[in-house]
Amino acid sequence: MSPTSLRRTVSQSVAGRSPVGQLPIGVLALQGDFREHLNVLQQLGEAAVAVKTPGQLEHIAGLIIPGGESSVIDKLSRLYGLAEPIKAAIAAGLPVYGTCAGLIMLADTVLDAIEGQQSFGGLDVAVRRNAFGSQTESFETELLVPELGDVAVSAVFIRAPVVEAMGPSVRALATLDDGRVVAVEQGSLMGTSFHPEMTGDTRFHEYFVERVRSRR
Ligand code: GLN
């Protein structure tokens, strides 16, 4: 064993992880629009890394789970051995932000899931997939998000879920005019039914980055 690899082994066994202040934010890159999230993070001056292997989870300060297809993200994450380490990281308090399919992956309960579909869980919510039906595949609307200031967020919904029930420790960040909850946070976790990575409005990402920085 070379001195370098020996040193690495020793420091890993002592520290477990690299110092959190130097770690990038990971974006789960199994399926979906992870590139858009990586772009937004880079735009914000944050180091960002595409996460595809369990080992990479040891070296991130936060994780974004992108939009896409939750049943596919579920299958691939189990296939690549990422599901259990992600659940462990969530339980250990890693800040995680899920958009659309990512919100579904964070939900403790998934309604209208396909047969055998699983989520990572962590967010004490019940989320219904494809809640707007096939008539409303996608739409864009203005949302007031008090946490992000007075200017409305333009929110893009694509075959989007809604939050149908939430536990006492979950806070709604945004609701549609009809009262349905479409953005939530709970401890180190947050999720949106819509896709802020697609609109050029970076405030949700800034909110998440702030959460990661305060934990660093
Ligand atoms: N309908 C998708 C699902 O169930 C989510 C769509 C999206 O992420 N834009 O996973």
Q: What does the domain layout of the chain look like in residue ranges?
A: 25-215
Q: Which atom of ligand 1 is nearest to the CA of 129?
A: 4
- Tokens for 141, please give them: 């609307």
Q: Which atom of ligand 1 is nearest to the CA of 66?
A: 8
Ligand 1 centre and the CA of 54: distance in Å? Answer: 23
Cα radius of gyration (the chain)? 17
> Domain 25-215 is in which class?
alpha beta
pTM: 0.90
Ligand 1 centre and the CA of 159: distance in Å? Answer: 6
Between strands 189-192 and 107-111, the pairing is unpaired
Per-residue confidence of the chain (216 residues) as pLDDT tens digits? 344 433 333 333 333 444 556 799 999 999 999 999 999 999 999 999 999 999 999 999 999 999 999 999 999 999 999 999 999 999 999 999 999 999 999 999 999 999 999 999 999 999 999 999 866 689 999 999 999 999 999 999 999 999 999 999 999 999 999 999 999 999 999 999 999 999 999 999 999 999 999 887
- Residue given tokens 């990512």 in the structure block: 102
Catalytic residues: 100, 195, 197
Ligand 1 centre and the CA of 66: distance in Å? Answer: 10
